[in-house]
Amino acid sequence: MLAEGLDAFVVTDMKNIYYLTGFSGTAGMILLTEHQDYLLTDDRYIDFAREVVKDMTVISTREPLKEIAKLSTALTKIAFEDSIDFATYKALADLLKTELIPSSNFFMSLRQIKDEDEIKLIRKACQITDQAYSDVLKFIEPGRTELEVANFLDFRMRELGASGVSFEAIVASGKRSALPHGVATNKPIDLGDVVTIDFGCFYQHYASDMTRTIFVGQVDDKMREIYATVLAANSALIEKAKAGLSFADFDKIPRDVIASSGYGANFTHGIGHGFGLDIHEPPFFNQKMTDQLLQENMILTDEPGIYLSNNGGVRIEDDLLITKDGCEVLTQSPKDLIVV
């Protein structure tokens, strides 16, 4: 903050507040200043806040913005997170009457690099995801609906220690698998369907995110070819990902594999993303990002896909921990073509 010339920072994103303090209520704000930091929350959370937040002054209030205005009267350059809604911004501007500096990624840039404890929790979230996937393979059969499969995964991951899903599970069967984000519906899975399953959990606040594509009863040659291409793209990135690789190459390496097989136009989304406390966090990737480099202890998804509206789609997604010399694949579920 000093380096950026800031007197104070108003933190409103609950994930950032958790990251800074370990406080995980649904309401709270933080005011950071040079000599003292404040966590403002209301009576519902005050005991919990006092228990977990030892290095900030914890204040109970139902009007945190007014409190922040009182605490920062002598300060002039106050940053705020530009993700706040307009009403909050307007109230803040009216109360503070000073220079407000919008900030996009101040804390997110810290969150991109995971520490040892965070890696442990994400590793565990991935293990739960792997186990639930292994179990759901025995559950999937013709006649089960996509929603039943999604609910099975949700319940199973909670049984294994997850606090919930990290996002609404995608279970897309038959031609619906060509929808990259086909959230589960009441459609029954049919014999001969391809089924794309993209899901994950939160374990002690940290996410996992995995996709596997399987086949029910049979698989035709076209889908076999597509599957092999997507798997080759996923594997090519695992082979090359390491600290120092450019963001541009992170996208280019797997995308080239798919393009050289003639399906470039059918890979319609980004190659991957960071995740942690949020299921989608920076970094994101494109081929213009030649001067940004992977760093040790980033955790990134590797999720190439090919989608053909008349046949169906295939996506394979793993979670990679970037290391000095390579990467560790945190999701360990098998990727051989599976027909259940």
Question: What H or E segment, with its residue span, contains residue 257?
Answer: helix 247-260
Instruction: Give, in order, the Cα–Cα distances in Å from 226 to each of 54, 222, 312, 313, 315.
Output: 54, 6, 10, 8, 10
Residue 105: CB minimum distance to Mn ion, A: 19
CA pair distance 30, 35, nearest whole angstrom: 14
Residue 120: CB minimum distance to Mn ion, A: 21
CA pair distance 234, 216, nearest whole angstrom: 22
- Which range of residues in 5-13, 172-180, 260-268, 298-306 is near Mn ion by CB under 5 A? 298-306
Which phi-psi region, left, alpha or beta, contains residue 233 (left: φ > 0; alpha: ψ -120 to 50)? alpha
Which of residues 17 and 122 has its CB atom nearest to Mn ion in the complex?
A: 122
Which of residues 96 and 236 has its CB atom nearest to Mn ion in the complex?
A: 236
> Euclidean distance between the first and final Cα of the chain, in Å?
55
Which of residues 66 and 269 has its CB atom nearest to Mn ion in the complex?
A: 269
Residues 8, 29: contact at Cβ < 8 Å?
no
Size of interface with Mn ion, in residues (CB under 5 A): 2
- Which range of residues in 97-105, 140-148, 166-174, 295-303 is near Mn ion by CB under 5 A? 295-303
Residue 156: CB minimum distance to Mn ion, A: 20
- Does 302 engage in binding with Mn ion (CB under 5 A)? no
Residue 198: CB minimum distance to Mn ion, A: 7
Site for Mn ion in 106-145 (CB under 5 A): none
Site for Mn ion in 208-227 (CB under 5 A): 209
Residues 168, 130: contact at Cβ < 8 Å?
no
Laid out side by side, the sheet with 8-11 consists of 57-60, 37-41, 29-33, 8-11, 77-81, 99-103
Which of residues 81 and 281 has its CB atom nearest to Mn ion in the complex?
A: 281
Instruction: Give, in order, the Cα–Cα distances in Å from 184 to each of 101, 132, 156, 187, 316.
Output: 41, 17, 16, 8, 17
User: Residues 166, 301, 331, 333: which binds Mn ion (CB under 5 A)?
Assistant: 301
Residue 304: CB minimum distance to Mn ion, A: 11
Residue 272: CB minimum distance to Mn ion, A: 7
Which of residues 266 and 301 has its CB atom nearest to Mn ion in the complex?
A: 301
Residue 209: CB minimum distance to Mn ion, A: 4
- Which range of residues in 123-131, 134-142, 148-156, 206-214 is near Mn ion by CB under 5 A? 206-214
Residue 229: CB minimum distance to Mn ion, A: 19
Q: Whose CA is closest to 53, among 28, 89, 80, 79?
A: 28
Which of residues 37 and 209 has its CB atom nearest to Mn ion in the complex?
A: 209
3-state secondary structure of 329: strand
Which of residues 6 and 300 has its CB atom nearest to Mn ion in the complex?
A: 300
CA pair distance 281, 108, nearest whole angstrom: 8
Instruction: Give, in order, the Cα–Cα distances in Å from 143 to each of 8, 148, 181, 229.
Output: 58, 10, 22, 29
Q: Which residues bind Mn ion (CB under 5 A)?
A: 209, 301
